[in-house]
Structure 1
């Protein structure tokens, strides 16, 4: 079963803080209170992850609302798993993760996102951008005559 990392709980809390700011600096929106309870228990028990199965219903709804604002897939349309790689050079997902992505739970997808972000080896994490910058140096923008001669 997939689990949710504490940084995702923090991101969801911050999402709701921006969406529903406290009117008086003390009162919290119900979504923030629900997520803060989960967060506080994680901190108290020194846990980095919380199992999605035991997530309280209202906190789960608040987390899912935040999750819906995140990109669904890390795909950058350069899929090397279709060429036989066990791990995609473009997005960093394993062959199994790419194949089963549509069936994965939101928590499972976030676990994958966290892993590939922490590994930071996929082209999606600056490698592709670096290659694009290198290409700009080879083909500078100031080339004005792009028409073939004649």
Structure 2
């Protein structure tokens, strides 16, 4: 089983926030950042340090996969 850590999920959210900043007075997250924000919030509430990839929604899996493809250019851990 493959897992994603809370730190890696946070890095992916930050990646998407730089690629597509929040918009409007409400500061709405992009589709990708929003898809990753829900499991991230649940992990914080539950005190979890990692989550099985299979637990991510389809949109979150797509956002995660695209982040993985581009993180070397972005700079892992930023």
If asked which structure has higher relative contact order (CA below 8 Å, sep 6+), I would say 2
What is the TM-score of this pair, normalised by structure 2?
0.83
CA deviations 1:50-101 (Å, max 9, x no partner) are 0012221101110111100134xxxxxxxxxxxxxxxxxxxxxxxxxxxxxx
2:14 aligns to what?
14
Q: CA deviation at 1:32?
A: 1.0
Structure 2, unaligned stretches of length 5 or more? Answer: 73-78
Aligned to 2:75: none
Q: Which has the larger radius of gyration?
A: 1
The root-mean-square deviation of aligned C-alpha atoms, in Å, is: 1.2
**Separation in structure 2 between the aligned mates of residue 17 and residue 70 of structure 1, nearest angstrom:** 13
Separation in structure 2 between the aligned mates of residue 22 and residue 70 of structure 1, nearest angstrom: 20
Cα distance in 2 for residues equivalent to 1:40 and 1:64:
19
What is the correspondence of 1:23-42 to structure 2 with a 5 Å cutoff? 23-24=23-24, 26-42=27-43
Q: Kindly report structure 1 stretches of 4+ aligned residues shifted beyond 2 Å.
A: none
Q: Once the 2 structures are TM-superposed, how far is the Cα of residue 6 of structure 1 from its aligned partner? A: 0.6
Higher helix share: 2
Q: How many residues align?
A: 71
5 Å-filtered alignment, 1:62-141, equals 62-71=63-72
Q: Deviation string for 1:6-46 (max 9, x for gaps)? A: 11111110011000011225111111111000100100110
Residues of 1 paired with 2:71 and 2:21: CA distance?
A: 20
Cα 1:70–1:22 change in 2 (3 A) is: closer
Q: Is residue 55 of structure 2 the alignment partner of residue 48 of structure 1?
A: no
How far apart in 1 are the matches of 2:52 and 2:65? 14
